[in-house]
Structures are given as C-alpha cells and as structure tokens.
Amino acid sequence: MDDQARAMRVFSGIQPSGGLTLGNYLGALKRFVSLQESGVESIYCIVDLHAITVWQEPGELRFATRQAAAGFMAAGIDPGRSILFNQSQVSAHAELAWLFNCVARMGWLGRMTQFKDKAGKNRENVSVGLFAYPTLMAADILVYHATHVPVGEDQKQHLELAREIAGKFNHDFGVEFFPIIEPVIEGTATRIMSLRDGKVKMSKSDPSDMSRINLTDDADAIARKIRKAKTDPLPLPDSLDGLEDRPEARNLVNIFAALDDRDPGGVTNEYGGKMFSEFKPKLADLAVAKLEPVTSEMNRLMEDPAEIDRTLGQGAKKAAELAEPILAETYGIAGMIRSR
Ligand code: TYM
C-alpha cells in the first residue's frame, strides 16, 4: 500500500429499499471491491435510517437490509477486511446528524434536486427526515473522518452539501476538525441508465421492472431484459464519437465495458459496424457470466439470516469504536458537557 492509500479512509452507503440493481452493482459495489483490494481502509454501510425517510414495511426493510448485506459480500466485500454494518446499529450517525441539522441551513436542503424530485408537489406531506436526508448523509461520512466517498453521479450534490456542512462547522467553531471530503465518481459506470429510456437513471423505484436488471434476476430474466432493451436501428459505430446522440446505445456499450473491466472505446472498436441483434446476445452472455455467480452467492448467504445479522453486528461494533471518539470530540467542540 502506498502513502496515499494509507492516508485515505473510504466510506460509502447503499439504501436497503427495494433490491439492488445493476446500477448499484457497477456504480458502487464493484468499485467498493476494487478499493478494498487496493488495501484502502473502507467502511460500508447499509443505510436503514435513510431508507425510512419514505415508508418501509418493517418486515420488508429487515429483509432488504439482509439482502443488501448479502449483495455486498457476494460482490466481494470481505467483512474481515472492510467494515460492513447497518447504520441504525451505530447511534453516532444519528447523533452527529442532529448537530449537523443545527449547522445546515433550510435553504441548502431545499435546493437539493433529490428532495425536490421525491417531494414533488407534496412538500407539506413528506417526512421531515426526507428533507434532512443530506445532513444524515454528511454525518455518515464525517463521523469517521472519512476522506473519500465512492458513489454514482446521482450522489454528487449530496456530497457537495456534506463539504459545505463540514466547512461551516469548522468555520463556526474556529477549528479544522472535519476533513473536506473527496467524492470519487470515476469510471464508465457512474451513471447506468434505464434499459427503456437512455435519458433516465436505472433505478429500483422505476415502475417498470424491464427498465432495470436486479441482482436477484436469473439468467433468463437478464437475457430477456437485454434483448428487449430500447436501442436504435443503426449499427454500432466504431468509435465513441458516434454515440453522442444515441443514449440507449451508449448505455449498453457502457454496461458492456463496465462488466468486462475495459474502456468503452475498446467495445466500439470490437463491435463497430455490428447490429444490435448481434451485440445484444454477447452483452447478455457477458452479463449472465458476471452476475450469476453474484446472485447465487447472495441466495446462498440469504439461507442463513442469523449469520448475516452476526456479521452486521460485528461490523457495527468496529464502526462504533471508530465513530465514538470523533463524536465525543465534536460534542466537546460544540460546548456539550461530557462528564462520563
Ligand atoms: P442508493 O442506495 O440510491 O445507491 C447506492 C449507490 O449506487 C449508486 N447508483 C448508481 N450508480 C450508477 N448508475 C446507477 N443507475 C445507479 N443507481 C445507484 C449510487 O450513486 C450510490 O453510490 N444517499 C445514498 C446512500 C448514502 C450514502 C451515504 C452514500 C447514505 N449515506 C454516505 C455515500 C456516503 C443513496 O441513496 O444511494
């Protein structure tokens, strides 16, 4: 490990609401595994407190939390090397979030596009938690003094806000306590798009199941979804320039590249001039070859929920040991008496 890796601490989170998608896998999980493999200290969190900012059926939340944990491990996160836990088991997250609620400004939160999209015209009736979502996210990261946050493109605005919160806290109290975090939004998979519309993100909340590949899909479902994916009638171009105004084609090339760990340019080099009728079966074979082992390992892990719970509990213990001294120091800076 080089000096730079030693000075880094990675934190990232995934919501346990609905299942994991190919977007989560390529945009987050696969990249988390590379970071773990490079030896960087990494903390990964299943953010159940974020999930409940919109209604979750308790039984489904419990299932989805275990399933997300299984997804992390099946993708290659080793709880012996990275810390893996669910957020609500480490109370420091919620405590620091409260302090940050008193640092962040209403205007900052009101400008968040995710809040505006999710609340829509219904602002008066959404939960207070949905509005305060980004302060909890800032707390998740900063309670560990994490330096780097690997995420997909859709999280960029939230991370900018986390930087603002850290900056305002440091400024208000005249300290250099919280690090200014670095979003890590890199690679070809930072924005995997819907299979039905190349202009919207692949998402677990899309009403059409055909728009996404779920990590629980079997080989037939994956092949069917790729076969039916929206494309255009033109052959693939032999360079990426030819994909500029072809979002659906660009998306399939990106998915191919990300699954196969290569540049999208290499994919257009190889398939330039070929029709989608030829490319799609190749993509489907690749997707099945890469995803099937993950899905079957997830299914195997899900057979023993008690073991998953134990793993999360052990991860939470390690996470709490890192977070508690930082939280205690934060309280001290803010003038709270700590006499225990
Ligand atoms: P969530 O649960 O929506 O998504 C988890 C991760 O997957 C990425 N992702 C995608 N990447 C590429 N293409 C897609 N179509 C796609 N869909 C999802 C997301 O960018 C994310 O990296 N607010 C966060 C969870 C969170 C968090 C944090 C993240 C809470 N606290 C602290 C980082 C640090 C969320 O809802 O992610």
* Calpha distance 184→94 (Å, rounded): 24
Residue nearest to atom 7 of ligand 1 (CA): 24
Q: What's the gap between Cα 264 and its chain centre?
A: 22
41-46: strand order across its sheet:
83-86, 41-46, 9-14, 148-150, 182-184
**What are 190-236's pLDDT values in tens digits?**
999 999 999 999 999 999 999 999 999 999 999 999 999 999 999 99
Average pLDDT of span 245-252: 96
Q: Name the strand (E) or helix (H) holding 83.
A: strand 83-86
Segment 138-184, tens digit of pLDDT: 999 999 999 999 999 999 999 999 999 999 999 999 999 999 999 99
Atom 22 in ligand 1: which residue has the minimum CA distance? 151
Q: Which of 9, 10, 21, 47 to mutate to test the pocket of ligand 1 (most atoms within 8 A of CB)?
A: 47
Percent of the chain clearing pLDDT 70 (strictly above)? 98
Q: What pLDDT is stored for residue 223 in this prediction? A: 97
User: CA-to-CA distance for 73 and 88, rounded, in angstroms?
Assistant: 19
Identify the three-state secondary structure at position 179.
coil
pLDDT tens digits for range 40-99: 999 999 999 999 999 999 999 999 999 999 999 999 999 999 999 999 999 999 999 999
Determine the pLDDT at residue 98: 98
User: What is d(CA 217, CA 214) in angstroms, rounded to the nearest whole number?
Assistant: 5
Size of the chain, expressed as the number of residues it contains: 340
Q: What is the pLDDT of residue 4?
A: 66
CA of 236 to the centre of ligand 1 (A): 30
Q: Which residues contact 246 (CB under 8 A, 6 or more apart)?
A: 198, 232, 234
Each residue of 304-313: pLDDT tens digit? 999 999 999 9
Measured in Å, residue 152 CA sits from the centre of ligand 1 at 6
Ligand 1 centre distance from Cα of residue 270 (Å): 31
> How would residue 340 be classed by pLDDT, with cut points 50, 70 and 90?
confident
- Cα 25 to its chain centre, rounded Å, is 8
Residue ranges around ligand 1 (CB below 6 Å) = 11-15, 23-24, 27-28, 47, 50, 137, 140-141, 149, 151-152, 154-155, 158, 189-192, 201-202
Q: Is the pLDDT assigned to residue 122 strictly greater than 70?
A: yes
pLDDT of residue 81: 97
For residues 279 and 139, what is the distance between their CA atoms, to the nearest angstrom?
A: 44
Cβ(171)–Cβ(132) under 8 Å?
no
User: In 3D, which of 185, 183, 189, 147 has the Cα closest to residue 40?
Assistant: 147
Q: What is the pLDDT of residues 7-48, one digit of tens each?
A: 899 999 999 998 999 999 999 999 999 999 999 999 999 999
**Ligand 1 center from residue 289 Cα (angstroms):** 24
Residues 6+ apart with CB under 8 A from 187: 31, 258
* 53, 151, 214: residue to mutate for ligand 1 pocket, most atoms within 8 A of CB: 151
pLDDT of 265 above 90: yes
Q: What does the pLDDT read at residue 18?
A: 85
Q: Pseudo-torsion of CA 174, 179, 181, 182, nearest 10°?
A: 120
Please answer whether residues 326 and 175 qualify as being in contact, where contact means their C-beta atoms are separated by less than 8 angstroms.
no
Catalytic residues: 118, 201, 204
Q: Whose CA is nearest to atom 14 of ligand 1?
A: 23
Handedness of CA 272, 277, 279, 280 (dihedral sign): positive
Check pLDDT > 80 for residue 3. Answer: no
Residue to mutate, 20, 24, 115, ligand 1, most ligand atoms under 8 Å from C-beta: 24
**Please, which pLDDT band fits residue 137 given cuts at 50, 70 and 90?**
very high
Q: Which residue has its alpha carbon closest to ligand 1 atom 20?
A: 152
pLDDT tens across 88-120, in order? 999 999 999 999 999 999 999 999 999 999 999
Instruction: Check if the beta carbon of residue 187 is closer than 8 Å to that of residue 180.
Output: no
Residue 155 Cα to ligand 1 midpoint, Å, equals: 6
The region that residue 200 occupies, defined by phi over 0 for left and psi between -120 and 50 for alpha, beta otherwise, is: beta
User: How much distance in Å is there from the Cα of 290 to the middle of ligand 1?
Assistant: 21
